[in-house]
Structure 1
Amino acid sequence: MNYYKADIKTNDWLKSNGISVKHFAKTDSQLLKAQKIAFNLLKHHLNLLSTPQIKTLRVYCAQMASDKKRNKITDNFVYKVLNIGTKINRQLFKANKEINNS
């Protein structure tokens, strides 16, 4: 596989996870991890989220989309998003375990 095809696949994967290719190299890894989690939760597991959780995730995604606001995201806000992701992951694991045990 040549580098051009690899770049295209990488860019497609980043876009499918809600991460901006343009800002990827300049953004902290924790922010990117939280961005991926927030985007995927809003895209695939909206039914498991409460209204405050949805609001938090949408605000986080909106702040990540803005250059000025991205730099002002605090660690506490990032951890809040990561904790929501962990909570939903536990719910999914529990539901999957119940399905497999039936």
Structure 2
Amino acid sequence: MNREESFCPVYAAIELLQEKWTLHIIRALLEAPRGFNELARAIGGCNSATLAQRLDRLTKLGVIEKEIASHMPPRTRYSLTEAGRALETVVQAIEAWGRRYLRERS
């Protein structure tokens, strides 16, 4: 079997989106482009090294883009590409499912 025949887009998408913090990053960037620290505050609880790793991977995959706003002090801005914005329906579907089937625990 060649590589194209063995590629499963569902498997590949789940592998990417199941990584911890990935959907949180996408959700935060759906609201607005953000700098690194602003993004870290928006998603909460993710350490800087993990956030940098996720952002790098998502950038390489073309889901987000990184703009260097300044070198001194270093400032970057992250935003979603067309591929990233297309995940809005996925996030909305997860929200709808959560609202319908999950209840807040007291």
| TM-score, normalised by the number of residues in structure 1 | 0.31
Q: Which has the higher strand share?
A: 2
Q: Which has the higher helix share?
A: 1
